[in-house]
């Protein structure tokens, strides 16, 4: 935790306004985060080096339509990754101007009891940040090349059949709390697969 704004002002003999501007800049760059009434915290190095959160937010704002294929609340069967007895699970198609994304995800029920199919139709990141007031700190990604079967649901929504893709598993955190796991397959992946 950083020392208070007041202590910084005294230590460096400066007024509060430049200190606030500097702290705001550090927050924007991801070096620190703040909690109202609790002060400023220094983020671990792996958090501020990760730019994925920004790219996820941009992607979620760019979407045009979302089709929720399945939404259920189930017993937690994926182990200790989530400290929750129940999980919301969903499968959805996100259609953007130039892409189609199939997403299969999990959200812990204990943290997000009011998460429902309507919220799943919108931007889940906006729900976390704006409605639930969570600070998204980092996203641990796992990439895996995939052979996509003709019958895969994504092929019902794409202009051409997807045969190969990259599956991206996002493990989204707020500080050290895992708040979402989502596996995404994109029609228009930025990565070219040489072999599988």
Q: Is 26 left (phi over 0), alpha (psi -120 to 50) or beta?
A: alpha
Which one-letter DSSP state was computed for residue 67?
E
Same domain assignment for residues 63 and 31:
no
pLDDT of the residue at 57: 46
Q: Could you tell me if 38 and 119 lie in one domain? A: no
Give the model's pLDDT for residue 24. Answer: 80
**Cα atoms in the Cβ-side hemisphere of radius 13 Å centred on 29:** 9
What whole-number distance in Å separates Cα of residue 138 and Cα of residue 172? Answer: 6
Look up tokens 């994109």; give the residue: 186
Q: What confidence score (pLDDT) does residue 4 get?
A: 79
Count the Cβ atoms, other than its own, within 10 Å of residue 1: 10
Domain-located, residue 191:
no
Backbone phi, psi, residue 139, to 5°:
-130, 115
Residue 113 within any structural domain of the chain: yes
Q: Could you list the residue range(s) of the whole structural domain that residue 154 is in?
A: 52-186
Cβ neighbours of residue 23 closer than 8 Å, sequence gap 6 or more: 5, 32, 34, 40
| pLDDT attached to residue 37 | 66
Report the pLDDT value the prediction gives residue 35, as an integer from 0 to 100: 67
Half-sphere exposure for 121 (CA within 13 Å, toward CB): 5
Asked if residue 30 and residue 60 are part of one domain, the reply reads no
For residue 177, the domain's CATH number is 3.40.1410.10
Dihedral angle of Cα 74, 75, 79, 80, to the nearest 10 degrees: 100
- Counting Cα atoms < 13 Å in the Cβ hemisphere of 10 gives 5
The pLDDT score that the predictor gives to residue 47 is 43
Q: What are phi and psi of 183, to 5 degrees?
A: -110, 125
Inter-residue contact 135 to 175 (CB < 8 Å): yes
Q: What is the mean pLDDT of each run of 10 residues along the chain (196 residues)?
A: 78 85 75 67 48 48 80 91 93 90 96 96 93 91 89 94 90 92 84 51
Residues 116 and 86 reside in one and the same domain: yes
Asked if residue 100 and residue 37 are part of one domain, the reply reads no
> Is the Cβ–Cβ distance between 179 and 173 less than 8 Å?
yes
Residue 93 and residue 159 share a domain? yes
Torsion of CA 154, 180, 140, 163, to 10 degrees: -10
């Amino acid at each position: 935790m950083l020392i208070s704004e007041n202590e910084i002002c005294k230590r460096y003999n400066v007024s509060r306004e430049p200190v606030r501007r500097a702290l705001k800049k550090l927050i924007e760059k991801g070096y620190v985060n703040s909690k109202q009434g609790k002060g400023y915290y220094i983020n671990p190095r792996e958090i501020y080096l990760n730019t994925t959160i920004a790219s996820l937010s941009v992607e979620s704002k760019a979407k045009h339509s979302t089709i929720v294929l399945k939404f259920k609340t189930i017993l937690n069967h994926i182990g200790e990754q989530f400290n929750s007895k129940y999980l919301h699970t969903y499968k959805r198609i996100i259609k953007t101007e130039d892409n189609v994304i199939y997403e299969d995800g999990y959200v812990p029920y204990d943290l997000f009891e009011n998460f429902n199919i309507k919220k799943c139709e919108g931007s889940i990141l906006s729900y976390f940040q704006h409605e639930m007031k969570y600070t998204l700190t980092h996203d641990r990604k796992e990439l895996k090349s995939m052979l996509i079967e003709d019958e895969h649901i994504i092929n019902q929504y794409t202009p051409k059949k997807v045969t190969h893709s990259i599956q991206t598993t996002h493990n989204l955190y707020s500080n050290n709390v895992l708040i979402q796991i989502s596996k995404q397959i994109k029609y228009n992946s930025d990565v070219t697969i040489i072999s599988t």
